[in-house]
Amino acid sequence: MMNAIVLLHRWLGIAFCLLFAMWFATGIVMHFVPFPSLTEAERFAGLVAVDRAQATMAVADAVAASGLTEATRVRLIRRSDGLVYIVSGPSRLGAVRASDGQGASVSSPEVALAIAQAHASQRGLDAGRASIVARSDDDQWSVPNGFDRHRPLFRVALGDAAGTEVYVSSTSGEIVLDTTRSERGWNLAGSVLHWIYPTILRRNWALWDGVVWTLSLLALIAAVLGAVLGIVRLRLRDRKITSPYRGWHALHHVIGLVATTFVLTWIFSGWLSMDHGRLFSRGQLTPAEAGVMNSSPDWKTAASLDRTPISSSAHEVEWLGFNGTIYRRERIGFDKQVLVRPDEREADVFNADEAARLVSRFATGCGAPSVITVDDDYPAQSIVPGAPVFRSRCGDLWFDIDSADGSVVQRLDASRRAYRWAYSALHTLDFPILVSHPRLRDVVIVGLCALGLAFSITGIVIGWRRLRLSFAG
């Protein structure tokens, strides 16, 4: 039995030592440079004020013109080519011009370029030398599935000193992603390697998911076998615990023992990052709950909200179905909004009673919603900074509702709460005590990953020597 463990660990170790080293090294990079995205602050900064007086089409007519029978939200924004309604459903979206109801998707490179330049100007970016780089379904940075309903995308290089590139949705004409030269470079040495994320593989989500899940599982097996051997091979001499090995093998043994807990928990939690519902729930609404959340409202009733004038400072206006009725939400600033209720009363956000009524349509026996605090063990953040997120506990099932836009931030059952600790806490070390001391968390993460990298390097040396002997023999 022990011989089988030795052989299996030896050859799995040889096969995966480089992968281990890559994961630890790129983990350090990823901690400081996340995968490129357009943050909500950047998106909002690129918006200009909306003049509703120039919109001759009513919201209900815009929904009808879009052809989306399952529409749940409608936003009004100003693009460089005029006011546009963005109509969204659970899986699709469409854009229509607010002036005449004609389709407002973007097929012209010239229009996409003008939209990108206007967005950059609002954000104070230099776009004087902007040009269209490509129009394609995806590339290394836009391959995630979240961009599916925006494809194909126009990629526009601004020509600024930072090498900024922005991506324009052909469906809505919105900016949906931006990257800089620095982000792209660091992510090639970070996320792309860490996630085994080359575009050609990631295009096929099921294939990528299976490949990375299998590799992570095999790596976990190799680590577990190594931990077993490391403990079994310890020797007690003169009341001292020693290693029977010498040289690189001894170094591998000692560092491995010191780093065992971290290596095992980090590889295990890394494998769980690819769980995708295999062992734990995914934190998403069930089909029945999603049906309640996404039930299409009567858009003709949105006209009643128009008796309350839209603020001249609004940079985005959204009509949304919530609890079977339509509300209007005006984004006045990144951290400020106005919510107009069906009775025309204004507020900043949805209140706890409104959140409770929504959750009561999902489950029974729910308690009064509470506000999630910043130090909560199961954190959740609103899309609008400072806006509360309500948590409603329905027995063992929890729902977190964003008071700003009425969306369900997360659905937490016992399985999902366990996943929060088994994956997130163990892999990103977002334990509350470390999150409250970010500098200490940085030091701990870098130190542990460096220790794991040193351990992996000893494995590479041993593996290389074993291969040389094998081929030489």
Taking only the tens place, the pLDDT of each residue in 216-255 is 999 999 999 999 999 988 887 777 778 888 999 999 999 9
Could you tell me if residue 235 is inside a domain?
yes
When pLDDT is averaged across residues 309-333 and rounded to a whole number, the result is 94
In a shared domain, residues 407 and 453: no
Could you tell me if residue 261 is inside a domain?
yes
Cα dihedral 9, 13, 15, 21 in deg (nearest 10): 160
**pLDDT for the residue 336:** 97
Which DSSP category does 215 fall into? Answer: H
Token digits of residue 431: 């334990």
**pLDDT for the residue 473:** 59
Could you tell me if residue 366 is inside a domain?
yes
**pLDDT for the residue 59:** 94
The answer to whether 301 and 326 are in contact (CB under 8 A) is yes
In a shared domain, residues 211 and 264: yes
- From residue 438, alpha-carbon distances to 375, 379, 442 in Å are 13, 16, 6
Higher pLDDT residue, 472 or 370? 370
Token digits of residue 421: 């600790």
In a shared domain, residues 395 and 441: no
Could you tell me if residue 314 is inside a domain?
no
Is the pLDDT assigned to residue 77 strictly greater than 70?
Answer: yes
Q: What is the DSSP pairing of strand 93-97 with strand 165-169?
A: unpaired
Q: Measured between alpha carbons, how far is 318 from 323 in angstroms, rounded to an integer? A: 16
Angle between helices 438-472 and 2-32 (to 10 degrees): 140
Could you tell me if residue 301 is inside a domain?
no
When pLDDT is averaged across residues 121-148 and rounded to a whole number, the result is 96
Higher pLDDT residue, 467 or 25? 25
In a shared domain, residues 408 and 453: no
Where on the phi/psi map is residue 399: left (φ > 0), alpha (ψ -120 to 50), or beta? Answer: beta
In a shared domain, residues 201 and 276: yes
Could you tell me if residue 419 is inside a domain?
no
In a shared domain, residues 393 and 463: no
User: What distance lies between CA 232 and its chain's CA centroid?
Assistant: 41
Q: Measured between alpha carbons, how far is 112 from 122 in angstroms, rounded to an integer? A: 16
Is the pLDDT assigned to residue 1 strictly greater than 90?
Answer: no
Could you tell me if residue 313 is inside a domain?
no
- How many domains would you assign to the chain? 2
**pLDDT for the residue 470:** 79
Residue 131 sits at φ, ψ, to 5 deg, of -155, 155
Whole domain around residue 9: which residue ranges?
2-33+196-280+437-472
In a shared domain, residues 204 and 268: yes
In a shared domain, residues 268 and 206: yes
